[in-house]
Amino acid sequence: KPMEGRISDIGPRHFGEYLPPVIKDNFGKWAYHEIIEPGVLLHVADSGDKTYTVRAGTARLMTVTHIREICDIADKFSGGYVRFTTRNNLEFQVETEEKAKELKAFLNDQKFDGGSYKFPVGGTGAGVTNIVHTQGWVHCHTPATDASGTVKATMDVVFDDFQDMKLPAPVRISMACCLNMCGAVHCSDIAILGIHRKPPILDHEYLDNLCEIPLAVAACPTGAVRPSKVEINGETYKTVAVKEERCMFCGNCYTMCPSMPLADKEGDGIALMVGGKISNRITKPAFSKVVVPFIPNEPPRWPTMTKVIKKILDTYAADANKYERLGDWANRIGWERFFEKCDLPFSEHLIDDFRDPAYYTWRQTTQFKW
């Protein structure tokens, strides 16, 4: 039944219609919550009502059959209610701790034919939660790397820390397959970012028919694109020219103009960033810094990238104080030590803007500066 006063035939239905009764009854009136064991949360309302939440990871790209299976689990255990978190975890809510433990065991027992987990329970507290990621080669037009592949490979090497809560603090890992970044790589403890390193290729013969030239010009944040004319086999084509030394390989022009693709096997790859967070617990929120400027794409398992991520995570786990987020740890020991301890070379590629005045030091600013 539509919520009162709401036009329900436009857009999605009001989320309030889908809240489990305990949430509806106690909306905005929750006293506290705690994590009672990895993957299981308890929320207690002012009224004394309690709800236990069991959290499980997902594959993010799912078949309808798989989604039906999730719905069947919700029907069986949690009154038909299921929630997807912003980090693509599943959450089922039940009334008692016993039911939560039963559901946790059930979810951990669900396996694919190959024996790997379908719905591994975890992702809470001082561990790695599910990796938020973007579309990758499957869906989007500007990716410089794959999303599902890089995330699957990463998740496999950090899986123990998804199931446990033995890290000093939560570690949020994110993935965006281009720097337009519909992921959260700017503010994650560890971030995987797809980057292009070559300017767009220009399909002069098709460009005027496929694109609005003024739109392609306006799309470029650095003013590298201008209208132009090109002669090919005696024919003049209205097109664009790109000032390559100005191009920062962002792909915005390609978003506006499909005749300016910039995907390239050698040019595309991955940068790693660390030290960001959105929490204001203990220290202020922080942006991530680039610590590895480029790793080539190595599908299907991205071994170089996963080795570096594992090294950063293990070094942090061994060296940081309790409650210290990854960036706080690096700030405390000094970023020079971070690079040493994680066996990462520091190069000029990590310096954000060498044209900025020298009164910024790389200690005070978001990125490393001269």
Residue 220 in tokens: 């470029």
Other Cβ atoms within 10 Å of 314 Cβ, number: 14
Residue 281 in tokens: 């617990």
Q: Is 123 helix (H, G, I), strand (E, B) or coil?
A: coil
Question: Are 269 and 146 a contacting pair, CB within 8 Å?
Answer: no
Residue closer to ligand SF4 by CB (options 247, 295) is 247
Q: Applying CB under 6 A, which of residues 19, 59, 95, 180 lies at the interface with ligand SF4? A: 180
The distance from CA 290 to its chain's CA centroid, rounded to whole angstroms, is: 15
174 binds ligand SF4 (CB under 6 A): no
Measured CA to CA, the distance from residue 151 to residue 131 in angstroms comes to 7
Interface segment toward ligand SF4; rule CB under 6 A; list 92-100, 179-187, 204-212, 341-349:
179-187
Interface segment toward ligand SF4; rule CB under 6 A; list 117-125, 137-145, 318-326, 340-348:
137-145
176 binds ligand SF4 (CB under 6 A): yes
Interface segment toward ligand SF4; rule CB under 6 A; list 114-122, 156-164, 247-255, 346-354:
247-255
Q: What are the residues facing 232 on neighbouring strands?
A: 235
134 binds ligand SF4 (CB under 6 A): yes
252 binds ligand SF4 (CB under 6 A): yes
Residue closer to ligand SF4 by CB (options 179, 342) is 179
Measured CA to CA, the distance from residue 235 to residue 322 in angstroms comes to 68
253 binds ligand SF4 (CB under 6 A): yes
Residue closer to ligand SF4 by CB (options 170, 199) is 199
177 binds ligand SF4 (CB under 6 A): yes
Residue closer to ligand SF4 by CB (options 39, 183) is 183
Q: What is the 3-state secondary structure (H, E, C) of 34-99?
A: EEEECCEEEEEECCCCEEEEEEECCCCCCCHHHHHHHHHHHHHHCCCCCEECCCCCEEEEECCHHH
**Nearest residue (beta carbon) to ligand SF4:** 140
Q: Is 210 helix (H, G, I), strand (E, B) or coil?
A: helix
288 binds ligand SF4 (CB under 6 A): no
Residue 155 in tokens: 């998740």
Element (DSSP H or E) covering residue 289: strand 289-296
182 binds ligand SF4 (CB under 6 A): yes
Cβ 287 to ligand SF4, closest distance in Å? Answer: 17
* Residue the block writes with tokens 């392609």: 216
Cβ 257 to ligand SF4, closest distance in Å? Answer: 9
Q: Applying CB under 6 A, which of residues 135, 154, 174, 188 lies at the interface with ligand SF4? A: 135
Interface segment toward ligand SF4; rule CB under 6 A; list 57-65, 216-224, 270-278, 341-349:
216-224
Binding to ligand SF4 (CB under 6 A) within 38-97 occurs at none
Radius of gyration for the chain, computed over Cα atoms and rounded to the nearest angstrom: 24
Number of residues in contact with ligand SF4, rule: CB under 6 A? 28
CA separation, residue 216 to residues 210, 219, 242, 252 (Å): 11, 5, 11, 8
Cβ 254 to ligand SF4, closest distance in Å? Answer: 7
Measured CA to CA, the distance from residue 294 to residue 198 in angstroms comes to 13
Binding site for ligand SF4 (CB under 6 A): 134-135, 140, 142-143, 176-178, 180-183, 199-200, 219-220, 222, 224-225, 242, 247-253, 262
